[in-house]
Structure 1
Amino acid sequence: MTNDNDFWLSLARQLASYRQQLRRPFIQGILGGQGTGKTTMCGILCLILKQLGYRTVSLSLDDLYKTYDERLALKQQDPRLIWRGPPGTHDVELGLTVLHQIRECQTSVAIPRFDKSLHAGAGDRTTPEIVENVDIVLFEGWFVGVRPIDPAAFDTAPPPIVTEEDKAFAREMNSKLSDYLPLWEMLDSLILLYPTDYRLSLEWRKQAERQMIAAGKPGMNEQQIEQFVNYFWRSLHPELFINRLVKSPTFVDLVISINPDHSFGAVYQPNNV
């Protein structure tokens, strides 16, 4: 299946159908690494669903980051948390509160928002968005729906999990995933945006940074990008966590394969592989 209007319309109609069957707001999880198109997907689906008469709100895992001050305190406790992003840097209770309020059909709900440009790029919470009578939530993020794995998997982990310190960090991030399970239980469905090679995320990030620099905006150099992406792979390595989910009809409802040029490849349900 290709990335065209028919696909988007079909997917939007499916979400609308789920909403009608549930008779309460429907929460769609979208899992994908850097550059897989999560934001684009949410934007397009929101537009189509609005035309179909459904009130849709997009919520990112990024919107649930702890405040700047809370993350400063966290970094002092654990200097390994040099960037926001890994498990433990989010306010899970805030996410649960918001999704519960929407599911209980509260008329007006404050959706948290996060501004990554604040504090010289460290980011912080900004003014919440007030939404009313939500029908569908698109909850996206780089590890939305990801579950803890057997710690023994890190004994023979792929690079950049190399040293004993790397393995200890990976095991700790794995254990912190347990805190997010109540949030994943709120999902009615999970879509996985699955690159044909997880290493494409690094190339896509480099492309994005080059474009920003060309446009006169600040961006990271190649070495900084590699350090940044490797940091995320050390915390939750795609080969260890995402590859398991691709084969799991228990947790994933739809897999969309992403080609190197960002186009869609195969679209399938895990149990139909």
Structure 2
Amino acid sequence: MTPPSQTVHSLATAHIVRCLRERAGASIKPLVVGVSGPQGAGKTTLTTNLINSLRIEHNLRAICFSLDDLYLTFEEQNKLRLKHPNNPYSHSEAILRNRLKEEQWTKVELPIDVILFEGWCLGFKPVTSISQVETMTKGSKFGADFEQFTVENMMDVQSELAKLEQIHKLLDVFIHICAEDIGYVYDWRQQQEDSMREKLGDPSAGLDRDQLRDFVSRFMPLYLICLPELEARGFFTTEAGKEKHLRVVIGKSREVISSAMI
């Protein structure tokens, strides 16, 4: 059981530093760390804080980017929405391989010790069996929210997930923030909407409750289909990846409930 004083940030920092020390002298390449977790779990906050703590406390240089940086263009998303109106896969792994014009580059001071890459579905492996997909989504407590999705919708997304393997191959370390109950995502999104309305001073801004429910529900099929495998087997499948995966389970208030090295 994780001591109450531990936070996701302290656990993640210790994990990264340990993995760096274990490979000291073995590689001059930056350590590439994948950070995964459901929407609202605190991934972006974690990566931002990690950059600061690694620099200040450990004299390490770190940079980060997100799966959200790889969204398709607005025009491409509209085309995808018309083709798959219910549950599209709206990222493009090809963007990782395309080079921006040099004047658009973000300037980074070398050397870099750690590269953090965060995304809500990072680590998800595709499930190719239709019967397995049906079994994993049937009888869910989110049943009413699934009425808009067909098995074909969900299988389309599963086929797109296979493209993430090109990203997965680049990861040296994996940090997974797990919600004790995936239903917390609805509450976390509501908190974000309420916070935005308060900052804007506009009670009508953002999504209303029905719109929020509809939006979050579009992510639930992938959670229900892919999370069990990631949580049961871990991210790495080879001996070299042993104890490179940190799993942190958090409660509704994002407090740490437990953690484990996998």
Both structures adopt the same fold (TM-score exceeding 0.5): yes
Are the structure 2 counterparts of residues 90 and 210 from structure 1 closer, same or farther at C-alpha, using a change threshold of 3 Å? same
Output aligned runs, 1:1-273, within 5 Å.
1=2, 2-3=6-7, 7=11, 9-17=13-21, 20=24, 21-51=26-56, 52-80=58-86, 86-87=88-89, 89-96=90-97, 129-133=106-110, 134-149=112-127, 150-156=129-135, 157=137, 158=140, 159-160=142-143, 162-163=146-147, 165-215=149-199, 216=201, 218-234=205-221, 236=222, 238-249=223-234, 251=236, 253-270=245-262
Q: Give the distance between the partners of 1:22 and 1:77, measured in 2 at CA.
A: 45
Match of 1:102 in 2: none
Q: Give the distance between the partners of 2:180 and 2:10, measured in 1 at CA.
A: 22
- Count residues in correspondence: 238
| 3-state SS of paired residue (2:219) | helix
Matched residue type, 2:206: G
Are the structure 2 counterparts of residues 240 and 72 from structure 1 closer, same or farther at C-alpha, using a change threshold of 3 Å? closer
Q: Indicate if the aligned counterparts of 2:174 and 2:235 stay in contact, CA closer than 8 A.
A: no
Q: Give the distance between the partners of 1:181 and 1:164, measured in 2 at CA.
A: 28
TM-score, normalised with respect to structure 1: 0.77
Q: Specify every segment of 5 or more residues in structure 2 that has no aligned partner in the other structure, as ranges.
A: 237-243
Are the structure 2 counterparts of residues 8 and 79 from structure 1 closer, same or farther at C-alpha, using a change threshold of 3 Å? closer
Q: Give the distance between the partners of 1:80 and 1:154, measured in 2 at CA.
A: 16
Q: Indicate if the aligned counterparts of 2:66 and 2:119 stay in contact, CA closer than 8 A.
A: yes
Are the structure 2 counterparts of residues 151 and 208 from structure 1 closer, same or farther at C-alpha, using a change threshold of 3 Å? same
Q: Give the distance between the partners of 2:8 and 2:220, measured in 1 at CA.
A: 31
Decide which moves more: 29-38 or 9-18. Answer: 9-18
Match of 1:119 in 2: none
Q: Indicate if the aligned counterparts of 2:123 and 2:230 stay in contact, CA closer than 8 A.
A: no
| 3-state SS of paired residue (2:166) | helix
The Cα shift of 1:19 comes to 6.3
Are the structure 2 counterparts of residues 203 and 130 from structure 1 closer, same or farther at C-alpha, using a change threshold of 3 Å? same
Q: Give the distance between the partners of 2:8 and 2:214, measured in 1 at CA.
A: 35
Q: Specify every segment of 5 or more residues in structure 1 that has no aligned partner in the other structure, as ranges.
A: 99-108, 112-126
| 3-state SS of paired residue (1:260) | coil
| 3-state SS of paired residue (1:268) | strand
TM-score, normalised with respect to structure 2: 0.80
Structure having the larger proportion of residues in strand: 1
Are the structure 2 counterparts of residues 42 and 250 from structure 1 closer, same or farther at C-alpha, using a change threshold of 3 Å? closer
Are the structure 2 counterparts of residues 66 and 9 from structure 1 closer, same or farther at C-alpha, using a change threshold of 3 Å? closer
The Cα shift of 1:255 comes to 0.5
| 3-state SS of paired residue (1:129) | coil
